[in-house]
Chains A and B, each alone.
Chain A
Amino acid sequence: MMLPDPAATGLARVRKIEGAALGLRTPAFAPEEGAGDLLEVSLGPHHPSTHGVFRMDVVLDGERIVRLKPVFGYLHRNHEKLGEGTSYLGSMPYTDRLDYLNSMTNNWAYALAVEKLAGIPVTERAEYVRVILAELSRLLNHTCLAGFLMQDCGCSGTPLMYAFREREKILDLFESLSGSRMMCNFQRFGGCRVDPSAEWLAATRTLVDGYGAFLDEFEALLSGNEIVMARTQGVGRLPAALAVNAGVTGPMLRASGVGHDLRKVDGYGVYPRFNFRVPIGRDGDVYDRYMVRMLEMRESISILDQALRGLPGGPILDPKAKQRGLRPKAGEAYGRIEGPKGEIGFFLVSDGTGNPTRYRVRAPSFVNLTILEDLCLGHSVADAVIILGSIDIVLGEVDR
């Protein structure tokens, strides 16, 4: 990164500091530029590459990062405290605002935790509809991520526009079903809010049948592209042992070669009925994280195909299942699902009243950020940007 002379530009946030005063972690390799001064730079919070309001306090030795501290909380609204002051059903629309790209899976994770807490059975048709919506959500999230990541790499415009073109189609489906493009507020305890019509299912079928062709086109453009490979391979390697110990989940973990997918491990909902594979990476670098998501989308298409074919009739929601005024017995439950970004879980403690006495969100991108510094040490600033992009964070969920 080219840094202008601070004196000339008056950049207040760029200043020189002494290395010894910092208590540095050991860099990935010894700095080559000699015992020069270190430079502390604040990346963000207002920058497109930070994917929201997020800051990285970076200490640079020349072009190399020798320390990186993520700083966040700019979007903090104490979501968990709001949950304590709201009824169980009342928190459902709030969960839309966590990972605002994937309100469908947030809703599902929350509904699952409440169903565990109160012992509510889910109707057969709703289980299938939940799988359909979760997989559509995964397609949407991974498509967007690939577009953003390429934007971060410097492929300006084209991949992101292709990705957003497809995202719009999925958002249209969400809108026609739930009434809202992004804030769907769709799941209920024991089922879903609306029964999808035959027309909606036909439109979904059309989208699913065409999605493979889009992925072919997208991958022909990017996956074998020499520049993309040179830019992302070997960057931000995450060893499998560290990934597990640091609680990294989702495509991040699988890219490091760990075949851990809650759809298989927990087998929640009706996932055990579907035939799909779990793609894993080898090197755990940015390229693997991109490729794992690409392959996961192909599997999602297969799951969608099976779920649309096997969708049973019957009620979408048991009318006797209590929604308003739900008062679970005193106790606690932790429910988790495989969200597009990793394990999203809700920990609920009930004291027998209508509001949870503790409402905790285990946000995947918050925990995945733990190892950001480890991934970036020794790399350049430009690499830190794509490493952050490959983690796939959403600040609505990180800051809560």
Chain B
Amino acid sequence: MESPEALRDRLLARFPGVSVELVPNGSPSGQVSLRISPAGLREVARFLRDDAALALDQCSNVTGLDSPDREVVETVKESQPGAPGGPPVVIERKQTRIEPGHLEVVYHLYSVARRHGPVILRARTGNRTDAVTLPSLTPVWRSCEFQEREVFDLYGVVFEGHPDLRRILMWDAFAGHPMRKDYVEPDDYEWEPTPHGEVLAKARRHYPSAAAPGAVQPSP
């Protein structure tokens, strides 16, 4: 099979409007992946499946990754004029900035016909709150059907074009996405408002709204 670099170049030549980025891997496994811009993901996937040399006919594994917002501390060096005639003084200043988080979906593709792989595709959402839509690859590989439902259920990525996007492991009325890094699990899954008890005290601490009688315990 062609090298990931050659594959990236071929994809870039074939799909001029799509960004294809090589994601390095520091592990000895050497499994390098390709990050595709969401708008072109399904097109690229279909090409990878139908291309005679690649024939990636099996999407083995679909999974999500969560990168929460990160606070990055940077040291900025500024030089200011020093004493007259002397060298400029360099002042170090620390500044923090918030690097916005995102959700990412990873697809591991193999070829049963040609017995090679994996080719790893990744796609990122815009953020973790309101721009969480990615194109579904279920129309390309049926094996994504349940696995994308699982990513939707546990990470909250919405797959546009999925034929049956429902929760799969958690129950339908469940709120929240448990695989996210900032998920706080309920203190008690069978919780109901009671006038006393440690559970209520804990819940009040975590969720102010839980103090109201009959309130449904929210998940973050």
Chain-B contact segment, one of A138-146, A280-288, A359-367, A383-391 = A359-367
Q: State whether A116 touches B27 (Cβ < 8 A).
A: yes
B169 touches which of A72, A116, A345, A367 (Cβ 8 Å)? A72
Cα-based distance from A247 to B117 in the complex (angstroms): 14
Given known A334-B118, A370-B146, contact A247–B29 (CB-CB < 8 A): no
Given known A258-B112, A358-B63, contact A332–B31 (CB-CB < 8 A): yes
Asked if A206 is at the interface (CB within 8 A of a chain B CB), the reply is no
Among A260, A329, A334, chain B packs the most CB atoms within 10 A around the CB of A334
User: Can you list 19 A-B contacts with CB-CB less than 8 angstroms, sorted by A residue number?
Assistant: A73-B170, A73-B171, A80-B154, A116-B27, A117-B28, A117-B29, A118-B27, A244-B57, A245-B141, A246-B145, A249-B60, A260-B112, A329-B26, A330-B26, A331-B26, A333-B31, A334-B31, A347-B63, A399-B169
Using a Cβ–Cβ cut-off of 8 Å, how many residues does chain A contribute to the interface with B?
Answer: 44
Given known A81-B179, A347-B61, contact A73–B26 (CB-CB < 8 A): no
Q: State whether A246 touches B143 (Cβ < 8 A).
A: yes
Asked if B25 is at the interface (CB within 8 A of a chain A CB), the reply is yes
Q: State whether A367 touches B147 (Cβ < 8 A).
A: yes
Nearest CB on B from A63, distance (A): 25
Cα-based distance from A118 to B29 in the complex (angstroms): 8
Contacts of A360 in B (CB 8 A): 61, 63
Q: State whether B179 touches A362 (Cβ < 8 A).
A: no
Contacts of A328 in B (CB 8 A): 27
Cα-based distance from A360 to B107 in the complex (angstroms): 12
B60 touches which of A329, A331, A345, A369 (Cβ 8 Å)? A345
Contacts of A331 in B (CB 8 A): 25-29
Per-residue interface assignment for chain A, residues 345 to 381, with 1 indicating a CB less than 8 Å from any chain B CB and 0 otherwise: 1010110000000101010001101110000000000
Asked if B142 is at the interface (CB within 8 A of a chain A CB), the reply is yes
B33 and chain A: residue at smallest CB distance: A332
Per-residue interface assignment for chain A, residues 240 to 252, with 1 indicating a CB less than 8 Å from any chain B CB and 0 otherwise: 0010111111000
Given known A242-B142, A366-B146, A399-B169, contact A334–B61 (CB-CB < 8 A): yes
Q: State whether B169 touches A245 (Cβ < 8 A).
A: no
Asked if B202 is at the interface (CB within 8 A of a chain A CB), the reply is no
A241 and chain B: residue at smallest CB distance: B57
Nearest CB on B from A377, distance (A): 15
Contacts of B145 in A (CB 8 A): 246, 370
With A247-B141, A367-B146 given, name 12 new contacts (CB 8 A).
A73-B168, A76-B169, A116-B27, A116-B29, A117-B27, A117-B28, A117-B29, A245-B141, A258-B112, A329-B27, A333-B31, A349-B65
Nearest 9 pairs of A and B residues by beta carbon? A247-B143, A331-B27, A119-B28, A333-B29, A331-B26, A73-B169, A246-B142, A362-B61, A116-B29
A245 and chain B: residue at smallest CB distance: B142
Cα-based distance from A360 to B108 in the complex (angstroms): 12
Per-residue interface assignment for chain A, residues 68 to 106, with 1 indicating a CB less than 8 Å from any chain B CB and 0 otherwise: 000011001010110000000000000000000000000
B58 touches which of A118, A245, A350, A369 (Cβ 8 Å)? A245
B142 touches which of A118, A247, A334 (Cβ 8 Å)? A247
Given known A80-B179, A118-B27, A328-B27, contact A347–B57 (CB-CB < 8 A): no
Cα-based distance from A345 to B31 in the complex (angstroms): 14
Nearest CB on A from B142, distance (A): 4
Cα-based distance from A80 to B181 in the complex (angstroms): 12
Contacts of A244 in B (CB 8 A): 57-58, 112-113
Contacts of A332 in B (CB 8 A): 25, 27, 29, 31
A-side interface mostly: mixed
Contacts of B58 in A (CB 8 A): 244-245, 247
Asked if A237 is at the interface (CB within 8 A of a chain B CB), the reply is no
Q: Which residues of B contact A (CB under 8 A)?
A: 25-29, 31, 57-61, 63, 65, 106, 108, 112-113, 115, 118, 120, 141-143, 145-147, 154, 167-171, 178-179
Asked if A400 is at the interface (CB within 8 A of a chain B CB), the reply is yes
Contacts of B25 in A (CB 8 A): 331-333
Q: State whether B27 touches A343 (Cβ < 8 A).
A: no
Cα-based distance from A235 to B142 in the complex (angstroms): 21
Cα-based distance from A117 to B26 in the complex (angstroms): 9
Nearest CB on B from A39, distance (A): 21
Contacts of A358 in B (CB 8 A): 63, 65
Nearest CB on B from A166, distance (A): 32
Asked if A12 is at the interface (CB within 8 A of a chain B CB), the reply is no
Asked if A341 is at the interface (CB within 8 A of a chain B CB), the reply is no
Contacts of A248 in B (CB 8 A): 143
Asked if A336 is at the interface (CB within 8 A of a chain B CB), the reply is yes
Asked if A265 is at the interface (CB within 8 A of a chain B CB), the reply is yes
Q: State whether B108 touches A347 (Cβ < 8 A).
A: yes
Cα-based distance from A147 to B121 in the complex (angstroms): 41
Among B27, B59, B65, B141, chain A packs the most CB atoms within 10 A around the CB of B27
Nearest CB on A from B117, distance (A): 9
Cα-based distance from A242 to B143 in the complex (angstroms): 10
